[in-house]
Amino acid sequence: MEFKNPEFLKPKQKMFATRTASVTRNSYIKHQRQSPVRVQQRYRSTPSADVHRLEKDGESLFVTDKCIQTIKKLQSKDSVKDKAKMKLRLAIEGGGCSGMQYNFTIDEEPLAEDDLVFQPENTNARIVVDRESLKHVKGSTVDFEEEMIRTSFVVKNNPQAEQSCGCKVSFSSKA
pLDDT, averaged across the chain:
77
Distances (CA, A) of 4 to 7, 11, 44, 50, 170: 9, 14, 27, 44, 43
Q: What is the pLDDT of residues 39-53, one digit of tens each?
A: 333 334 444 458 999
What is the arithmetic mean of pLDDT over 126-138? 95
Look at residue 8 and tell me whether its pLDDT is greater than 90: no
Select, from the ranges 130-139, 143-152, 160-169, the one with the highest average predicted confidence (pLDDT). Answer: 130-139
The answer to which of 8-12, 23-27, 83-87, 108-112 has the lowest mean pLDDT is 23-27
Please tell me what DSSP assigns to residue 167: T
Q: Which residues of 48-82 are buried (b: 16+ CB within 10 A; e: fewer)?
A: ebebbebeeeebebbbbbbbbebbeebbeeeeeee
Query: pTM above the 0.75 mark?
Result: no
Q: CA 173 to CA 175: how far, in whole Å?
A: 5
Q: Give yes or no for a contact between 59 and 134, defined as CB atoms under 8 angstroms apart.
A: yes
Using pLDDT thresholds of 50, 70 and 90, give the confidence band for residue 2.
low
Q: What is the pLDDT of residues 10-34, one digit of tens each?
A: 454 444 443 433 333 343 334 444 4
What number is the average pLDDT over the span 56-79? 92
